[in-house]
């Protein structure tokens, strides 16, 4: 390989990007915009679930019970209803996700030590939110029931009661269970993969459409030199994007970076090489910018968003789909990012996933070179 010829191709591609404001904006501004948009719009936290209450009891005991919901971070009492028709209307209109009906004999049942049946009506059209809302309501109700039991035992025995089990949960790496702490690293991986593949998927196809590929073929430049020259400019832009994404995560979204910065950018470099080689491979295959763009979106965004474990746990997927996820490089990069960001893991822990990224990058580059040689013949 002649490095001077490869650098000449890279210089030509650099000049093309700099002189084309649209390409430069897509390469730098678009990843930042997507990270900003998804960082604020995409959240898995379920707080302040709108609730409407029908308090048939209208007693101090029922108001105390209802206040447990209003005082928690998970529910927001939006109003009170006086019949089932009003509850149904509020849920149908979307003003409330949960409706609670406190029975007329609630206070009598509580005072007599019997079980008071409280009805909870949940809008199941959003099953994930509904499931979390039911779990939150169950936790609030259990805590209220437990406090009543302790009060009754103190009244009967006149002494404080010690619980048989002292349950003290401790959450590592994300004590406040903030969803942005693991969403932002996953978004960085997805956005970097999509943008990198989109940028490089147009390079070779553009040469074919403009008729300049024949000129490159007639020169002594080889397929490896063309691919290397095409990769270098966009690899540099990709690393700049990575720096900006890390800075946004640190200062805009306040996501802690506990691990090695060097290990983080080394992993990103390997990931970008493999992803951009995939874009070159798509461009060589398509020979058309529109087709290359569409293929890049299908082969990068959909797998990296759905099959990487970013949003949906891989362990919950069907077995066949779990095997397919091993072909998605974003899966390994997301594992690396989350481990470096949140756990502060080192090379010894991440070597396996890092090695798989290296294998993917080398395999994609070799495949692109082999196929491009066939196109030159």
pLDDT score, position 261: 92
For 158-212, where are the alpha helices, taking DSSP H only? 180-201, 203-210
Region 161-181: what's the mean pLDDT? 75
Burial 345-371 (b: 16+ CB within 10 A, else e): beeeebeebbebbbebbeebbeebbee
Give the model's confidence band at 332: pLDDT under 50 very low, under 70 low, under 90 confident, else very high.
Answer: very high
The residue with greater pLDDT, 93 or 43, is 93
**CA contacts within 13 A on the Cβ side of 80:** 11
pLDDT score, position 298: 84
pTM: 0.78
Give the model's confidence band at 265: pLDDT under 50 very low, under 70 low, under 90 confident, else very high.
Answer: very high
DSSP state of 99: E
Give the model's confidence band at 170: pLDDT under 50 very low, under 70 low, under 90 confident, else very high.
Answer: confident
DSSP state of 52: E
Range(s) of the domain holding residue 311 = 3-43+178-376
The CA distance from 90 to 81, in Å, is: 9
Distance of CA 218 to the CA centre of its chain: 46
The CA distance from 354 to 363, in Å, is: 14
Dump pLDDT digits (tens) for 113-138: 788 889 999 998 877 788 888 999 99
Which domain CATH number covers 64?
A: 3.40.1710.10
Mean pLDDT of the chain: 84
Q: Which residues contact 52 (CB under 8 A, 6 or more apart)?
A: 77, 78, 79, 80, 81, 86, 87, 90, 91, 95, 96, 98, 99, 100
The residue with greater pLDDT, 341 or 221, is 341
Dump pLDDT digits (tens) for 87-112: 999 998 889 999 999 999 998 888 88
The CA distance from 344 to 259, in Å, is: 4
Do 216 and 323 belong together in one domain? yes
The CA distance from 148 to 61, in Å, is: 11
Whether the Cβ atoms of residue 304 and residue 310 lie closer than 8 Å to each other: yes
* Weakest mean pLDDT among 41-45, 268-272, 324-328: 41-45
Q: Is the pLDDT of residue 375 over 60?
A: no
CB neighbours of residue 73 within 10 Å: 10
Do 151 and 185 belong together in one domain? no
Q: Which of 75, 20, 88, 81 is nearest to 49 (CA)?
A: 75
Residue 163 falls inside a structural domain:
no
The CA distance from 61 to 70, in Å, is: 15
pLDDT score, position 161: 64
Q: Is the pLDDT of residue 203 over 80?
A: no
Q: Is the pLDDT of residue 37 over 70?
A: yes
Helix (H, G, I), strand (E, B) or coil at 82: coil
pLDDT score, position 158: 64
Q: Is the pLDDT of residue 374 over 80?
A: no
pLDDT score, position 346: 84
Do 147 and 193 belong together in one domain? no
Last residue of a domain, one of 157, 191, 220: 157
Do 150 and 192 belong together in one domain? no
Q: Which of 123, 143, 134 is nearest to 65 (CA)?
A: 143
Residue 341 falls inside a structural domain:
yes
Do 96 and 136 belong together in one domain? yes
Residue 172 falls inside a structural domain:
no
Residue 358 falls inside a structural domain:
yes
pLDDT score, position 358: 93
Residue 74 falls inside a structural domain:
yes
For the chain, how many structural domains are there in total?
2
Do 55 and 147 belong together in one domain? yes
pLDDT score, position 160: 62
Do 322 and 191 belong together in one domain? yes
Give the model's confidence band at 313: pLDDT under 50 very low, under 70 low, under 90 confident, else very high.
Answer: confident
Torsion of CA 290, 293, 294, 298, to 10 degrees: 170
Written as six digits, the tokens of 251 are 């200062």
pLDDT score, position 64: 92
């Amino acid at each position: 390989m002649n490095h001077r010829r490869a650098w000449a191709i890279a210089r030509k591609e650099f000049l093309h990007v700099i002189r084309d404001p649209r390409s430069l904006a897509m390469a730098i501004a678009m990843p930042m915009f997507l990270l900003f948009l998804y960082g604020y719009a995409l959240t898995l936290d379920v707080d302040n679930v709108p609730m409407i209450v029908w308090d048939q009891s209208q007693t101090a005991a029922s108001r105390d019970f209802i206040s447990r919901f209003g005082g928690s971070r998970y529910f927001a009492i939006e109003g009170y209803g006086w019949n089932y028709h009003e509850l149904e209307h509020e849920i149908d209109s979307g003003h409330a996700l949960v409706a609670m009906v406190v029975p007329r004999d609630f206070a009598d049942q509580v005072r007599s030590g019997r079980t008071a049946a409280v009805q909870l009506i949940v809008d199941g059209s959003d099953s994930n939110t509904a499931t979390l809302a039911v779990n939150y309501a169950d936790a609030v109700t259990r805590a209220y029931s437990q406090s009543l039991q302790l009060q009754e035992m103190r009244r009967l025995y006149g002494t404080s009661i010690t619980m048989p089990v002292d349950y003290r949960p401790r959450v590592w790496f994300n004590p406040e269970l903030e969803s942005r702490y693991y969403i932002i690293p996953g978004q960085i991986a997805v956005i970097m993969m999509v943008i990198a593949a989109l940028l490089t998927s147009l390079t070779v196809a553009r040469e074919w459409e403009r008729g300049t590929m024949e000129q490159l073929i007639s020169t002594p430049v080889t397929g490896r030199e063309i691919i290397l020259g095409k990769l270098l400019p966009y690899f540099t832009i990709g690393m700049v994007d990575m720096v900006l994404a890390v800075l946004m995560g640190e200062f805009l979204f306040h996501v802690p970076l506990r691990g090695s910065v060097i290990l983080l950018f080394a992993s990103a470099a390997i990931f970008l090489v493999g992803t951009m080689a995939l874009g070159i491979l798509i461009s060589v295959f398509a020979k058309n910018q529109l087709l290359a763009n569409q293929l890049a979106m299908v082969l990068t965004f959909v797998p990296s968003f759905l099959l990487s474990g970013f949003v949906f746990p891989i362990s919950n997927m069907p077995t066949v789909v779990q095997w397919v996820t091993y072909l998605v490089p974003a899966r390994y990069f997301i594992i690396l990012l989350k481990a470096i960001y949140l756990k502060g893991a080192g090379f010894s822990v991440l070597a396996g996933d890092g090695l798989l990224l290296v294998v993917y990058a080398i395999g994609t580059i070799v495949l692109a070179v082999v196929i491009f040689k066939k196109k030159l013949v």
